[in-house]
A and B are shown apart, each in its own frame.
Chain A
Amino acid sequence: EIVMTQSPVTLSVSPGERATLSCRASQSVSSNLAWYQQKPGQAPRLLIYGASTRATGIPARFSGSGSGTEFTLTISSLQSEDFAVYYCQQYNNWPFGGGTKVEIK
């Protein structure tokens, strides 16, 4: 089974700064990679699919890149509503990474 590994576990960022989150697959998943945001008490929300395509209604400050085994989610200028936990997922099967918590510095 493909294992998804996210880093860092926690990222401390000041509002307005850039956040860069990483996701690594244990073997190639091509571009079949999605990113989700989850806030406390809420279901996850799809942000990015196809490694780099924003889902409907997702602001342009969210961008994804990568293919194969190395992927990145970038939030260009963090807003207060962006502090949350972010998960990657390869959807050849459906396993998720362990998550990165983006917290206020």
Chain B
Amino acid sequence: EVQLVQSGAEVKKPGESLKISCKGSGHNFTSYWIGWVRQMAGKGLEWMGIIYLGDSDTRYSPSFQGQVTISADKSISTAYLQWSSLKASDTAMYYCARSGYSYGLGPADYWGQGTLVTVSS
């Protein structure tokens, strides 16, 4: 069974750094892209960026370019989303999802359970 398991909820202060993870299991993930999606409370889905686990080729949404860093470790089928200096406006639920086509970009067919990030002084 294909699964994406995300790291647990985080509570951080403004200015702190954070790295959250998304681990795939049940399939060979190195031939797939993993995307990150932000959802602020009561709001819609926002695509942040996507990474190909095979070679770490990464594409960012213009809205998030320079604001976050997406990385991956293919040896453990894990993608990461990282902030160097959090802001209160980063408070949101973050989902990872697998792009469902091998090698190419496709629909998000499997989703993680979400990681809630709260940034508050």
Binding site for B on A (CB under 8 A): 1, 34, 36, 38, 43-46, 49, 55, 85, 87, 89, 91-99
Whether A55 contacts B50 by the Cβ 8 Å rule is: no
Q: For the complex, would chain B's binding face be called helix, strand, loop or mixed by DSSP majority?
A: strand
Interface string of B39-63 (1 = CB under 8 A from A): 0000011110010000000010110
- The interface residues of chain A lying within 8 Å CB-to-CB of B47 are 89, 93-96
Tell me whether B20 is interfacial, beta carbon within 8 Å: no
- The verdict on B108 contacting chain A, using a C-beta distance below 8 Å, is yes
Task: From known contacts A43-B95, A95-B61, A99-B45, infer whether A89 and B107 are also in contact, taking CB-CB under 8 Å.
Answer: yes
Instruction: Please list 12 pairs of residues, one from A and one from B, whose beta carbons are closer than 8 Å in the complex, sorted by A's number.
Output: A36-B45, A44-B45, A44-B97, A49-B106, A85-B44, A89-B108, A91-B99, A91-B105, A93-B47, A94-B108, A95-B47, A96-B47
Q: Which residues of A contact B100 (CB under 8 A)?
A: 46, 49
Complex CA–CA separation, A86 to B108 (angstroms): 14
Nearest residue (CB) in A for B36 is A94
Q: Closest CB-CB distance, A100 to chain B, in whole Å?
A: 10
4 closest cross-chain pairs (CB), A and B: A34-B107, A49-B107, A43-B111, A94-B47
Docked CA distance A96–B113 (Å): 19
Which of under 10, 10 to 19, 20 to 34, or 35 or more describes the interface residues of B?
20 to 34
A-contact bits for B90-110, CB 8 A (1 contact / 0 none): 000001010110000111110
Cβ-Cβ contact count across A and B, 8 Å cutoff: 65
CB–CB B107/A96 < 8 A: no
B residues near A (Cβ < 8 Å) are 35, 37, 44-47, 50, 59, 61-62, 95, 97, 99-100, 105-109, 111-114
17 extra interchain contacts, Cβ-Cβ under 8 A, other than A89-B47, A89-B107?
A34-B108, A43-B95, A44-B111, A46-B109, A55-B107, A55-B109, A87-B44, A87-B45, A89-B45, A89-B108, A91-B107, A93-B105, A94-B99, A94-B108, A95-B61, A99-B44, A99-B45
